[in-house]
Amino acid sequence: MSAHNPASHAGRGAVYQTPVFLGIDIGTSAVKALVLDENGAIVGQSSAPLEVSRPQPLWSEQDPEAWWSATIAAVRALPATTRRAARSLGLSGQMHGAVLLDRADQTLRPAILWNDGRSAAECRELEDAEPRTRGLTGNAAMPGFTAPKLLWVRRHEPQIFARVSTVLLPKDYVRLRLTGERCTDVSDASGTLWLDPARREWSEPMLAATGLDLHAMPRVLEGPQVSGTLTAQSAAELGVDPIPVVAGAGDNAASAVGLGVVASGEAFLSVGTSGVLFVVTDRFRPNAARGAHAFCHCLPGRWHQMGVLLSAGSALQWAADVAGFASVPEAVAAADRRGIGRYTPYFLPYLTGERTPHNDPYARGVYFGLGFETERADLVMGAMLGVAIAFADAQEALREAGSELQTVWLCGGAARLDPLARILAAALDRPLARGAGSEAGAALGAAQLARAAAACPKESHTYSRPAVECTFEPEPGVRALLRERGPLHRRLYLELRSTFQECAA
């Protein structure tokens, strides 16, 4: 665990006398802390790294205690004067993770994460036990969701399941440590398969199907609602005053708030560890058959649809590592110089399975078309094209659910790479706008929600968009190449689907 080596980007000598608002994002690879001033300007950022444990194939776990240690490290990396000016705190976090607590609020096992694929059989069991699953939740049961994970624990670790008193999501475990309160927000709760998103409350039939009831669930709040106040002990550990903590959001809804993506049709494309194409809707509009997610937005009266790629930026990192490049930016620059040609291999980016549109935990990454002419830069270009085509597939699933995307913002660490951004614009056949500070992501949205909670009157609060840094238009030549490659990319998956399952058996 290396969470005690934070990297801070705040000005060490700055003193903030005016109120500021703190956002904390519990990610998969790091905990990030971000501070906004009264005008919504970023005045400090810091982070502390996290590690993922993969003790068996398909498994992905983290120790919840590591989130708490990293949270303290990230916040403590901010200047003390900045921390002491904080007036409220917002939380965001990786979705779907299962944190199991006993009656004393002690963790019973490592948290099972969003990209864990062990519970495919339990997904079928859940839909058999409650045939109304897709109608009640608007989503197909997938191994990434929380409910199937509990069925897996019930079957394989019955002694642990028998001791479960409370189930929390990752950011809500940190909230418990901060405030002593068991709460969540509607956007994060939507990713459990226990929430009825249309009514924005827990579904008792879905809980019963996993052997749980309402007593095991935290209170559900809207994102800007106050969930509690820092305890004296947690405030001292963070080095802040005992300030209010708002409900916050799952990482994707928080990212949307940070980008001002709050009205129907507004959208963003995120290239982080995973990939997300997110669009706001004014009502609950599911399309479970194509693996699209339909969740509550973290703001009252709003929902969203989402196409999810389990490997996006992580697929590019993997390709860069395998090809021997020192970094992803170096690899992408080399691939851009090499260009796209007949020597560019096809790549299925399903390194840990896939959600949209395949809902296939057994899918795996594949290179096709390698030859003696293939160079290491071609491996990276193939990965870039494969991720872009996967995003195009996700966009089609959202269209089939009735969504028409309007302005699409580009965010996430890998989205800072211009060659990739141009390819993504061509794959989606639409302009992509990159905003200043777009890499801030979910921590920015968490801070915006904390700022909204302090607004008076709250109803007048607006979520501002970042200034447009640049816009990437679809390039006709790249668009034509992707349209030519797309059909074979999709056929490769269909022809290999049964083979993936045989290899996993």
Statement to judge: residues 222 and 199 lie in one domain:
yes
The pair of three-digit structure tokens given for residue 298, joined into one six-digit string: 């973290």
Whether the CA torsion 396, 398, 401, 406 is positive or negative: it is: negative
Domain with 122, as residue range(s), is 7-259+441-469
CA distance 277 to 307: 5
The pair of three-digit structure tokens given for residue 268, joined into one six-digit string: 């963003």
Q: Among candidates 30, 90, 172, 28, which has minimal Cα distance to 446?
A: 90
Whether the CA torsion 442, 408, 296, 216 is positive or negative: it is: negative
Statement to judge: residues 450 and 496 lie in one domain:
no
Is position 32 within any domain? yes
Is position 294 within any domain? no
pLDDT of residue 340: 95
Is position 291 within any domain? no
pLDDT of residue 324: 97
Catalytic: 282? Answer: no
Is position 190 within any domain? yes
Can you give the pLDDT of all 505 residues of the chain as single tens digits?
A: 333 444 444 444 455 568 999 999 999 999 999 999 988 889 999 999 999 999 998 899 999 999 999 999 999 999 999 999 999 999 999 999 999 999 999 999 999 999 898 999 999 999 999 999 999 999 989 999 999 999 999 999 999 999 999 999 999 999 999 999 999 999 999 999 999 999 999 999 999 999 999 999 999 999 999 999 999 999 999 999 999 999 999 999 999 999 999 999 999 999 988 899 999 998 898 766 677 889 999 999 999 999 999 999 999 999 999 999 999 999 999 999 999 999 999 999 999 899 889 988 889 999 999 999 999 999 999 999 999 999 999 999 888 878 888 889 998 888 889 999 999 999 999 999 998 766 778 999 999 999 998 765 444 567 778 888 899 999 999 999 999 999 999 999 999 999 998 887 6
Statement to judge: residues 245 and 326 lie in one domain:
no
Residue 208 is given by DSSP the state H
Statement to judge: residues 143 and 49 lie in one domain:
yes
CA distance 291 to 306: 9
User: What is the identity of the amino acid at 80?
Assistant: A
Give alpha helix (H) positions in 406-475: 418-428, 442-454
Statement to judge: residues 500 and 448 lie in one domain:
no
CA distance 20 to 16: 8
Q: Is 314 helix (H, G, I), strand (E, B) or coil?
A: helix
CA distance 394 to 382: 18
Q: Among candidates 10, 77, 34, which has minimal Cα distance to 239?
A: 77
Q: Is 25 helix (H, G, I), strand (E, B) or coil?
A: strand
Statement to judge: residues 102 and 219 lie in one domain:
yes
pLDDT of residue 466: 80
Contact in structure between 475 and 425 (CB atoms under 8 Å): yes
pLDDT of residue 146: 98
pLDDT of residue 394: 94
CA distance 397 to 276: 13
CA distance 444 to 256: 10
pLDDT of residue 458: 47
pTM of the model: 0.86
Statement to judge: residues 68 and 207 lie in one domain:
yes
Q: How many domains does the chain have?
A: 2
Is position 209 within any domain? yes
Kind of pairing, strands 249-250 and 86-93? parallel
Contact in structure between 409 and 425 (CB atoms under 8 Å): no
SS (H, E, C) 272-325: CCCEEEEEEECCCCCCHHHCCEEEECCCCCCEEEEEEECCCHHHHHHHHHHCCC
Place of tokens 């940070």: 258
CA distance 91 to 465: 20
Statement to judge: residues 456 and 430 lie in one domain:
no
Contact in structure between 275 and 393 (CB atoms under 8 Å): no
Kind of pairing, strands 86-93 and 20-26? parallel
Is position 284 within any domain? no
Per-residue DSSP letters for 51-118? --B--STT--EE-HHHHHHHHHHHHHTS-HHHHHTEEEEEEEE-SS-BEEE-TTS-B-SPEEPTT--T
Statement to judge: residues 193 and 221 lie in one domain:
yes
CA distance 188 to 171: 9
CATH of the domain at 139: 3.30.420.40
Sheet holding 267-271, edge to edge: 293-296, 303-309, 275-281, 267-271, 408-411, 432-435, 468-472
Statement to judge: residues 341 and 252 lie in one domain:
no
The angle, 0 to 180 degrees and rounded to 10, between the axes of the packed helices 328-338 and 313-322 is 80
Within 10 A of 219 (CB to CB), how many other CB atoms are there? 16
Statement to judge: residues 400 and 453 lie in one domain:
no
Q: Which of 37, 188, 251, 393 is catalytic?
A: 251
Is position 47 within any domain? yes
Q: How many residues does the chain have?
A: 505
- Tell me the Ramachandran region of residue 324: left when phi exceeds 0, alpha when psi lies from -120 to 50, beta otherwise: left
Q: Among candidates 293, 258, 276, 290, which has minimal Cα distance to 450?
A: 258
Is position 387 within any domain? yes
Statement to judge: residues 243 and 381 lie in one domain:
no
